[in-house]
Amino acid sequence: MTHTEMYYSEIAEAYEKIEATTKRLEMTDLLVNLLKNTPKEIIDKVVYLTQGKIYPDFVKLEIGVAERLAIKALAHASGRRESEIEEDLKKSGDIGETAQKFTAQKRQVTFFQKPLTVQKVYETFDKMAKASGAGAVDTKIMLLAGLLADATPKEAKYIMRTVTGNLRLGIADMTVLDALAIAYGGGKEARELIERAYNISSDLGRVAKVVAEKGLDGIKKFQVIVGEPIRPMLAERLSSPEEILEKLGGKCIAEYKYDGERVQAHKEGEEIKLFSRRLEDISDQYPDAVELLKRHVLAKDAILEGECVAIDPDTGEMRPFQELMHRRRKYEIEKAMEEYPISLFMFDALYVDGKDLTLKPYPVRRKALEKVVKEGDRVKIAKHIITSDVKELEKFFLEAIEDGCEGLVCKSVAADSVYQAGARGWLWIKYKRDYKSEMTDTVDLVVVGAFHGRGRRAGTYGALLLAAYNPESDTFETVTKCGTGFTDEDLAKLPKTLKPHVIPHKHPRVNSIIAADVWLEPKIVLEILGAEITLSPIHTCAMNVIRQGSGLAIRFPRFTGNYRLDKAAEDATTTNEITEMYQKQLKKIAES
């Protein structure tokens, strides 16, 4: 084996250890060791594989193997009947475990079996992703069967999990950045530089390769590139105009907060790509938005941000976000465009004709946006005012509500009001109607565990353990158990929906005193409405922040029926936000 090659067994060994740990620091150490032992020439591939993919999210290529096809490939490789494999899978609930078992009992022995290399596995996955046309399914099955025939049982486990999209390691991008800083940046203090490169490229594999091969000097040369999405800047939230203006230095730009899907538009000549807040290429779902931007963006090359909002085809009035989700489909796009037309409301310019604007103050970026966007009926710049007056801000807020918006986003006009890619900060503050009273606002929480149902709910889950995200520790802290608001149909589907994310123990990034019947990797985000927030000795959200020995809990939670598919787990409501909601509630009680 050459010095640029690596056996896939080394990855499988590392994955097994990572999967077994319940400690986040140990998980990072194991990842550091894996990255240090990886040849620099292929470190990008190892990083992608460790994320459970073969390309960054913005590249529209997935391995795309359904469980059904995986079973066929395993049957072919092991010489066993599909029905036997299906039977075992029902018991194990994990295609990886089943593959490990059947590979160990292979009836067909391959002579002169060569050990699998990372390159061989990656290249095979790549061929599977690119297989198209009439024979694509058979091609994928044969390629996968070939890999499984050469794999050891442990390798088969992780190959199978990867191709079906259920690697279950739960390694977040931030954990990989920590590991890269330690392995190749000289320590955690290099994390900020490496994270900036990732935030403006969204390509963790490329960042890994550059830091491994060229060190921090290479990382410093990273630039914004049209076609590579910039990780979105996020806003904090406050519930009164007085607090907002005080936090923003007495003056702000206040913009309508539209109830739509945030999109990042990349224009390169005549080609336009749209990326979601999760960095997925969603251009195919919005061909009308692509055409609108071709006509209304005057720059040759640009990266602009806006909100894509569903409108009533008869009145032109804005419709709620839920209606826009009908556009999230692969087929009958033309029909969806007629039934759910859209308008675009642009609010930021990150790059224009060779100029990176991300480090410029927001007023400069907004002026650049106004220069390059030609407004029309269905493409507008977000409605705004510049104000230092509390009453004017409140009046504009009420206008936004009247016009069908969620509220306002108030933005700093200071010299340091740069675009904080991938970060949530106080340069942007959300002011939404629902934040004005205790828990009339919904929160987005992550499912981290489940409890078996009883009585009428036997055979499904009776309640879910939900958590808020703590970005400072990169952990998920429990805040409530929710069992209401689910329809009978929701309950029937829950085991199947959650099955791909079931793991054998509490995830290392989950902070929980409560023992769930079933643990889940933090992936699925639900919208929840509660009655109030209280101190709790058993929930870890903001533990010891308000009072020693107490965290915060949401009482009487109810599922709204909204699965937040547009949000990653790390985009969920933060522990700081829950803390602030609790403190506002106390203040309101004290004043009444």
3-state secondary structure 196-246: HHHHHHCCHHHHHHHHHHHHHHHHHCCCCCCCCCCCCCEEEECCCHHHHHH
Q: How confident is the model at residue 417 (pLDDT cuts 50, 70, 90)?
A: very high
The pLDDT of residue 315 is: 65
Q: Residue 33 burial (CB < 10 Å; 0-12/13-18/19+)?
A: middle
Q: How confident is the model at residue 400 (pLDDT cuts 50, 70, 90)?
A: confident
Task: Please state whether beta strands 384-387 and 475-482 pair in parallel, antiparallel, or not at all (unpaired).
Answer: unpaired
Q: Residue 177 burial (CB < 10 Å; 0-12/13-18/19+)?
A: buried
Q: Quick check: 271 pLDDT over 90?
A: yes
256 in Cβ contact with 345 (< 8 Å): yes
The pLDDT of residue 338 is: 84
Sign of the CA dihedral with 250 first, then 401, 276, and 353 last: negative
- Per DSSP (E only), the strands in 240-354 are 252-257, 261-268, 271-275, 301-310, 342-352
The pLDDT of residue 41 is: 95
The pLDDT of residue 435 is: 37
pLDDT tens for 310-347 read: 987 766 778 878 788 778 776 778 888 888 899 999 99
Could you identify the residue written with the tokens 């550091």? 32
101 catalytic, yes or no? no
Query: 545: which residues sit within 8 A by CB, 6+ positions away?
Result: 551, 552, 575, 579
Give, in order, the Cα–Cα distances in Å from 19 to each of 168, 286, 507, 540.
8, 39, 9, 23
Kindly name the residue from 157, 257, 411, 432 that is annotated as catalytic: 257
Hey, what amino acid is at 202?
S
* 540: three-class secondary structure by DSSP: coil
Could you identify the residue written with the tokens 């700093």? 412
358 in Cβ contact with 421 (< 8 Å): yes
Mean pLDDT of 95-104: 91
The pLDDT of residue 440 is: 67
Could you identify the residue written with the tokens 């309950």? 491
406 in Cβ contact with 235 (< 8 Å): no
Q: Is 190 left (phi over 0), alpha (psi -120 to 50) or beta?
A: alpha
Query: 338: which residues sit within 8 A by CB, 6+ positions away?
Result: 313
Structure tokens at 180: 């890269």
Q: Quick check: 99 pLDDT over 70?
A: yes
Rg, C-alpha atoms of the chain: 25
Q: Ranked by mean pLDDT, which of 183-192, 300-309, 543-552 comes out on top?
A: 300-309
Max Cα–Cα distance, the chain, nearest Å: 81
The pLDDT of residue 581 is: 87
Report the range of poorest mean pLDDT among 64-78, 359-373, 377-391. Answer: 64-78
pLDDT tens for 556-587 read: 788 998 889 889 999 999 999 999 888 887 77
Could you identify the residue written with the tokens 């060229």? 214
Percent of the chain at pLDDT above 90?
66
Helices (H), 237-360: 241-247, 287-296, 321-324, 333-339
Q: Quick check: 513 pLDDT over 50?
A: yes
Picking from 192, 169, 168, the residue whose alpha carbon sits closest to that of residue 180 is 192
Q: Would you mind telling me the total number of residues written for the chain in this entry?
A: 592
Picking from 400, 329, 411, 316, the residue whose alpha carbon sits closest to that of residue 365 is 411
The pLDDT of residue 434 is: 45
159 in Cβ contact with 148 (< 8 Å): yes
pLDDT tens for 426-476 read: 999 999 754 333 576 899 999 999 999 877 777 889 899 999 999 999 999
Long-range contacts of 385-394 (CB under 8 A, 24+ apart): 385/253, 385/254, 386/251, 386/252, 386/253, 386/254, 386/413, 387/251, 387/252, 387/254, 388/245, 388/250, 388/251, 388/252, 390/241, 390/242, 390/245, 393/241, 393/244, 393/245, 393/252, 393/254, 393/431, 394/241
Q: How confident is the model at residue 4 (pLDDT cuts 50, 70, 90)?
A: confident
Could you identify the residue written with the tokens 């981290």? 448
The pLDDT of residue 31 is: 96
Mean pLDDT estimate for the chain: 90
The pLDDT of residue 436 is: 36
The pLDDT of residue 2 is: 61
* 249: three-class secondary structure by DSSP: coil
Q: Quick check: 364 pLDDT over 70?
A: yes
Q: Quick check: 107 pLDDT over 60?
A: no
Of 467 and 114, the one with more pLDDT = 467
The pLDDT of residue 392 is: 94
104 in Cβ contact with 153 (< 8 Å): yes
What domains sit in the chain, N to C, each tagged with a CATH number? 234-436 (3.30.470.30), 442-591 (2.40.50.140)
3-state secondary structure 94-158: CHHHHHHHHHHCCCCCCCCCCCCEHHHHHHHHHHHHHCCCCCHHHHHHHHHHHHHHHCCHHHHHH
Model pTM score: 0.82
3-state secondary structure 164-186: CCCCCCCCCHHHHHHHHHHHHCC
Q: How far is CA 229 from the centre of its chain?
A: 14
pLDDT tens for 401-416 read: 768 788 899 999 999 9
3-state secondary structure 386-408: EECCHHHHHHHHHHHHHCCCCEE
28 in Cβ contact with 178 (< 8 Å): yes
How far apart CA 421 and CA 357 sit, in angstroms, is 12
Mean pLDDT of 174-185: 94
- Return the H-helix or E-strand segment holding 477: strand 475-482
Q: How far is CA 557 from the centre of its chain?
A: 24
The pLDDT of residue 154 is: 95
Q: Quick check: 592 pLDDT over 60?
A: no
